[in-house]
Amino acid sequence: MPHTPEIKTMKPITFLFHRAETTVAELINFIPVGQQLFKEAVEKKLFITGPIHWHYIGFDGDEKKPFTLEISLPVGEVLSDYDGNFHFKRTDDFKSVCLTHEGRWDEIPKSYGTIMQFMEANHLTPAGITREVYVNADFNNQEANVTQIQIGIH
């Protein structure tokens, strides 16, 4: 089922997250971080309020150039006395062009292309932050993957 990009403003979210400088080639190494975030949230008795997000900060399409990756788990609150391996943040409103990608991640560049065409046609300027929200991540049957792409705009 084809999806059409749309402009949305996501409301603020509180995240427990891990931050790293990386490149596209190294992304596979970060897959276990999601489970570590869930484990930490459960151990700290935090309410988990949504699926894992990967936030790409400063990625400009150059696969060899380093950028900041934040793997983020939505949670119900910030623990003020937290002293662990991760960090907390509360985001502001996030205005973005959104598109739901269904299927294999190796086909996700097509969905990004659709968003970029929409942004160009509507004279939208990227803000330098992209979110991928993993609504369903099926490592055994990638056709069942559902990923919401959110490209931040000004």
Asked if the structure places residue 145 within a domain, the reply is yes
SS3 state at 75: strand
Asked if the structure places residue 57 within a domain, the reply is yes
Of all residues in the chain, the percent with pLDDT exceeding 90 is 95
pLDDT computed for residue 2 by the predictor: 52
pLDDT band at 1 (very low <50, low <70, confident <90, very high): very low
Average pLDDT in the 80-105 region? 96
Quote the number of domains for the chain: 1
pLDDT digits (tens, 9 = 90+) for 34-90: 999 999 999 999 999 999 999 999 998 888 999 999 999 999 999 999 999 999 999
Asked if the structure places residue 135 within a domain, the reply is yes
pLDDT at residue 26 is higher than 50: yes
Domain range enclosing 87 = 6-153
Strands (E), the chain: 6-10, 14-22, 53-57, 67-74, 87-90, 94-102, 126-136, 146-153
> Model pTM greater than 0.85?
yes
Asked if the structure places residue 133 within a domain, the reply is yes
pLDDT computed for residue 57 by the predictor: 97
Asked if the structure places residue 1 within a domain, the reply is no
The average confidence (pLDDT) of the chain is 95
Asked if the structure places residue 116 within a domain, the reply is yes
pLDDT computed for residue 53 by the predictor: 98
Query: Residues near 91 by Cβ (< 8 Å), separated by ≥ 6?
Result: 10, 12, 13, 14, 15
State the CATH number of the domain containing residue 33: 3.20.80.10
